[in-house]
Amino acid sequence: MISGNVIAITSGKGGVGKSTVAVNLALALSRLNKRVAIMDLDIYGFSVPKMLNITDRPKTINNKIIPVGSHGLSVMSTGFMVPGNSPIVWRGPMLGRMVEHFFKDVIWGQLDYVILDMPPGTGDVALDLNHMLPECKEIIVTTPHPTATHVAERAGTMAQNTNHDILGVIENMAYFEPPIENAEKYYLFGKGGGEALAKTLETNVLASLPMAVPNENGEVPIIYDETSNLFPHYNDLASQIDRLFIKQAAIN
């Protein structure tokens, strides 16, 4: 079984950067000297092994799985279970068994945080999670675009209907800011969508994250290190979330 604070990173639709947020939040929490695991539950669209450049496979001991270590994280993904980039063609019951397998048959050890990269939408995996981990908290990821926030509202409503606390909304790709002094911000996907979604779900915007600026080689990184414009944003986000859990623990 898993220990620690469990945070599901959810979205209403694909393409809003949910997995990127999940991975970089996990890394930022690890930089706070927290013991962090990331579980890639986006079973049809698994991407965490690729994002972390993992080529190893999990090992087993006494019929239990040892997660792969990468970048200071403990990692499990359905991507470890299939050859190459093969598609997974499973129906609902098999999805549920895989989720349960990750929770019960993996030796996670003592953890402070478990980040779940959820599939988009409100399908079988989300339903199984709600039953297996009733104390899980959720973060809703959207872009500012009205269509994205409209769809994300459904994911938030599902969390509320199943009594999962929503930690807040992350507005990803909120704007683009060129890396020059006094640069103007460009709101390529509109403005205010994250605030509107948070108001509807009666929660707060945890972060409005800008678009990543290409590095000196013209590449847009996936993992945001000290050279990235997003590095301080994720550090601030991780600190904010850690404070929320410390405050909650003090109340309880």
Each residue's pLDDT tens digit in the chain (252 positions)?
678 899 999 998 888 999 999 999 999 999 999 999 999 988 778 899 999 999 898 999 998 999 999 999 999 998 887 766 655 555 555 666 777 888 888 999 999 999 999 888 766 666 777 677 778 899 999 999 999 999 999 999 988 888 889 999 999 999 999 988 888 999 999 999 999 999 999 999 999 999 999 888 888 889 999 999 999 999 999 999 999 998 888 886
Where residue 28 sits, what CATH number does that domain have? 3.40.50.300
Tell me, rounded to whole angstroms, the distance of Cα 15 from its chain centroid. Answer: 13
Which of 144, 165, 164, 140 has its CA nearest to residue 153?
140
How many domains does the chain contain in total?
Answer: 1
Task: Tell me the residue range of the domain where 32 lies.
Answer: 5-251
Which pLDDT score is estimated for 69? 96
Q: What angle do CA 96, 93, 61 make, to 5 degrees?
A: 50
Q: Is the dihedral of CA 145, 151, 155, 158 positive or negative?
A: positive
Which pLDDT score is estimated for 17? 94
The pTM for the full model equals 0.93
What is the rounded CA–CA span in Å between residue 5 and residue 22?
A: 14
Using DSSP, state whether 138 is helix, strand or coil. Answer: strand
Which pLDDT score is estimated for 89? 52
Helix %, strand %, coil % of the chain (to 5): 35, 20, 45
Which pLDDT score is estimated for 85? 61
**Residue 58 exposed, middle or buried by CB count within 10 Å (0-12, 13-18, 19+):** middle
C-alpha torsion angle, residues 151, 171, 118, 9 (rounded to 10): -130
Q: Do residues 7 and 113 make contact, with C-beta atoms less than 8 angstroms apart?
A: yes
